[in-house]
Amino acid sequence: MPLSYRHIARLSRLSLVIGCLFTASSHADVWQQLTDPQDGQFDTSQWILDNAHGFMPVPFIITEPAVGTGGGAALLFFHESEQQKQLRQRHPDQVSGIPPSVTGIVGGATSNSSIFAGLFHSGNWQQDKVRYLGALLASSINLDYYAPLTNRPAQFNIEGLYVLQDIDFRLGDSQFFAGVNYTYVQSKTVFDITDNLPGVDPLSLDNQDASVAVKLSYDSRDNQFSPRTGLKAGIEAGFHHPNLGGDFTYQQYSSYVHSYQRLSNTWGLRLRGEYDYMTDGAPFYAKPFISLRGIAAMRYQGDDVSVAEMQLDYDLNPRWTVLAFAGAGKATTEQQSFADADWQFTQGGGFRYLIARQLGLRSGIDVAKGPEEWTFYIQFGSAWR
């Protein structure tokens, strides 16, 4: 990869420091705001939350192997309620229980000429009774498509517009949430080759795809950004239909369990299991794929996809954590049984730095080895969704 592992000691902090200085250079106490009074270490909590009246530019680096390396920038606006601010100021040694809402404008490009730009809003309302995520994204992405039961990629470009509206409601005072989302994708796809490809319907290359999904989830995590304890689990059923604004009729069902445990004061264990199933009728780009660190997006697609991953953490001190992980995934199609499909394995390691203590936000780098290549990822928050 263009960036070697020797950059891991500074990358996570450097990008955020640069972003802070763009807007905070006029503040005489900028360096004081970037130092945690509790331990004297670099920390962005005070700067992010006390400067919530303005946008914070944050450059970032893209390391997804499916699109190559690249970068971009986001303008982030943090909305902290007056009640949240007062609680934080009264208890500066505690991690904020409810993260502030965030509005952002984002854009970027990668080494394989992929580009994207969009805006989003992530909101926590009514003391975390309601969680909302909305996004509008335009992109031109270059990817590889692997036809079923083949190892030969076909390059394609997909240009489109993506719209998401997602909302969850807490059920009473429990840790269960019920929600619904709507997605709309308008896309145009062009392949580099003219031959017909298995699994690709020529009619699906210029179209719209729209869906409504209903979901039920459970969330007992101690933090939404970088959880250390708790459980997040959920099931979701998505229904795609022309009456919703698309051209396709199919269903998608998914389930997931993410467990976060502390084995001791310094050791932590994370376990992840996910399953996705899609019925006939979906465009090729919508089919689920194995999503693991070390495997490029869309490399292993199928009608049924199962993923399992484990991560072991060790805290060197309250700020620094090192970790190791391993995962396995399997993607099956109608032409093969689950037993006939091959498992794909990944493993790797990395580190995290507690970059915003009062938000519980950790960032760092993971280096992973998959079936084909070594890759690395710059992480802000959890590596899992």
Average pLDDT, the chain: 85
Rounded to whole angstroms, the Cα distance separating 230 from 260 reads 5
Burial class (CB in 10 A: 0-12, 13-18, 19+), 28: exposed
Residue identified by tokens 């399953």 is 275
Mean pLDDT of 36-48: 83
Mean pLDDT of 320-332: 97
pLDDT for 173-195, tens place per residue?
Answer: 999 999 999 999 999 988 876 55
Tokens for 211, please give them.
């869906």
Q: Nearest-CA neighbor of 51 among 86, 28, 79?
A: 79
pLDDT given at position 63: 84
pLDDT digits (tens, 9 = 90+) for 330-344: 999 887 888 889 999
Query: 136 to each of 104, 107, 183, 238, how far by Cα in Å?
Result: 11, 12, 10, 19
Asked if the 5-380 domain carries CATH number 2.40.160.50, the reply is: yes
- Three-point CA angle 342, 343, 348, nearest 5°: 145
Confidence at residue 33, expressed as pLDDT on a 0 to 100 scale? 76
> Of 58, 53, 45, 68, which is closest to residue 12 (Cα–Cα)?
58
Select the more confidently predicted residue: 79 or 346: 346
Cβ of 89: how many Cβ atoms within 10 Å?
10
- In the predicted structure, residue 20 carries a pLDDT above the cut 60: no
Collapsed DSSP state (helix, strand, coil) of residue 6:
helix
pTM: 0.84
Contact present, 142 and 191 (Cβ < 8 Å): no
Q: Amino acid letter at 326?
A: A
Q: Cα dist. 187→53, 79, 166, 266, 276 in Å? A: 36, 33, 21, 47, 23
Beta bridge partner(s), residue 51: none
Residue 36: the pLDDT is 85
Residue of 385, 374, 274 whose CA lies nearest to 331: 274
**313: nearest Cα among 323, 305, 303, 304:** 323
3-state secondary structure (DSSP) of residue 366: strand
**Of 279, 280, 301, nearest in space to 291 by CA:** 301
Mean pLDDT, residues 207-214 taken together: 96
Q: What is the pLDDT of residue 343?
A: 96
Q: What is the dihedral of CA 128, 17, 19, 226, to 10 degrees?
A: -30
3-state secondary structure of 242: helix
- Name 300's Cβ contacts closer than 8 Å, sequence gap at least 6: 146, 289, 290, 329, 331, 344
Distance CA 306, CA 343 (A): 10
Query: What is the per-residue burial (b if ≥16 Cβ within 10 Å, else e) of 257-279?
Result: ebbbeeeeeeebebebebbbbbe
Predicted confidence (pLDDT) at residue 282 exceeds the cutoff of 80: yes
Q: Which residue in 151, 193, 185 sits closest to 285, CA to CA?
A: 185
- Residue recorded with tokens 């998608």: 252
Number of H helices, E strands in the chain: 4, 16
**Residue located via tokens 């992530």:** 122
User: Which tokens belong to 1?
Assistant: 């990869």
pLDDT recorded at residue 197: 66
Cross-strand partners of 277: 253, 304
99 secondary structure, DSSP code: P
Interacting residues of 254 by C-beta distance below 8 A, sequence separation 6+: 235, 236, 238, 274, 275, 276, 277, 288
For the chain, give the number of residues: 385
For the beta carbon of residue 203, count every other beta carbon within 10 angstroms: 10
